[in-house]
Amino acid sequence: MEKHYINKWYNGHLLYREIPVYEMNLIQTSGGTIYANPMSGYSQTEVTLSNTPNTDYIFQSYSVSGSTLYDTNKVKFIDSDISAMGKFKYHPNEIPVNDQLWTRPISDDDSGSGIAIKEVYGMRVGYYTWGAAKRIESMYSTDGWRIPTTQDFEKLYANIGATYTAYGNGGGYRPAGTYLKSETDWGAGSGIDKFGFDIKPLGHMGSPSATWITNLGYDFDCWGSTIHDDGSEEYHDALYLIRDSGGSQYQPTYQQDGYISNIVTEVETTAKYYAHILMLVKDI
């Protein structure tokens, strides 16, 4: 803390009033760099924190002492200096799991139709119709990337140590959900993120032009390429994760399980244009 003085005259005498100037102390970590603007100020001066993650890291939150954090990235000087530190998490864009290499949720926009790019949980997320997902796949296919098949999902579950359990309505792979999900944001169904996927409950969109994300905070739908046709509509197998519903559903251990479920693709005759998350996989 520095001390500044303000001149003040009283009855012909020059007086000095001491005004403390407080300072920011930024504690840097290996995951990235944090910044503060301004770096010093009088009491009640507002400070905005910002950050730049290092390669393969994502920012999670700020931790401060000497003040109270509000609006996720703002503090005010009160009567002391402030110390601030950023929490970053290792978050590579490509994740090896035994003989598979997986991407995180894709956020590319090829300026074609059927894509919505949203800021969700502090990251850029793409929601794709099936047609858009195929276009994005073609951008990566020369390097061996593909939209996962049902067999790719089953191999992922096997590689992370999950086994199929038949129960309820179709069963699930335990404990795939626990291993794949992020440690936060799923409510009662958060995971332990054992392999670094850090999967958030990103939900899906009724269409790329929708104004809201359906089931945000509740489930995760990722396109699969294996198609089923019941004669009227085509369905794709999907990597599906859902949070625990508190036991009110027919499968009270949702938070432990991963599913390969069917999601409807776009069929123009029935005007279905659901947009889902897209992850790609390739063999290594």
**What is the per-residue pLDDT for 138?**
92
CATH 2.60.40 spans which residues of the chain? 2-90
Going by pLDDT thresholds of 50, 70 and 90, the confidence category of residue 169 is low
Average pLDDT over residues 136-142: 91
196 CB-contact burial (10 Å; exposed 0-12 / middle 13-18 / buried 19+):
middle
Alpha carbons 184 and 187: distance in angstroms, whole number: 7
Average pLDDT over residues 253-272: 63
Going by pLDDT thresholds of 50, 70 and 90, the confidence category of residue 250 is very low
**What is the per-residue pLDDT for 35?**
98
Average pLDDT over residues 233-261: 69
Residue 18, number of CB atoms within 10 A of its CB:
8
Average pLDDT over residues 119-138: 90
pLDDT digits (tens, 9 = 90+) for 76-114: 999 899 999 998 877 668 999 999 999 999 988 888 888
Average pLDDT over residues 145-149: 96
Alpha carbons 37 and 126: distance in angstroms, whole number: 31
Going by pLDDT thresholds of 50, 70 and 90, the confidence category of residue 257 is confident
**What is the per-residue pLDDT for 111?**
81
| More confident: 18 or 247 | 18
Strands of the sheet containing 94-97, edge to edge, are 94-97, 100-103, 281-283
**What is the per-residue pLDDT for 244?**
73
Alpha carbons 213 and 261: distance in angstroms, whole number: 19
**What is the per-residue pLDDT for 91?**
66
**What is the per-residue pLDDT for 170?**
56
**What is the per-residue pLDDT for 144?**
93
**The whole model's pTM is what?**
0.69
**What is the per-residue pLDDT for 10?**
62
Going by pLDDT thresholds of 50, 70 and 90, the confidence category of residue 4 is low
Going by pLDDT thresholds of 50, 70 and 90, the confidence category of residue 230 is confident
Alpha carbons 232 and 140: distance in angstroms, whole number: 31
**Highest mean pLDDT, choosing among 52-61, 153-162, 188-197:** 153-162
**Please, what sign has the CA dihedral across residues 54, 193, 116, 110?**
positive
Least confident segment among 66-75, 137-146, 165-174: 165-174
Average pLDDT over residues 215-238: 86
Average pLDDT over residues 191-200: 90
Average pLDDT along the chain: 84
Q: Which CATH architecture has domain 2-90?
A: Sandwich (2.60)
pLDDT digits (tens, 9 = 90+) for 11-43: 666 566 667 889 999 999 988 999 999 999 988
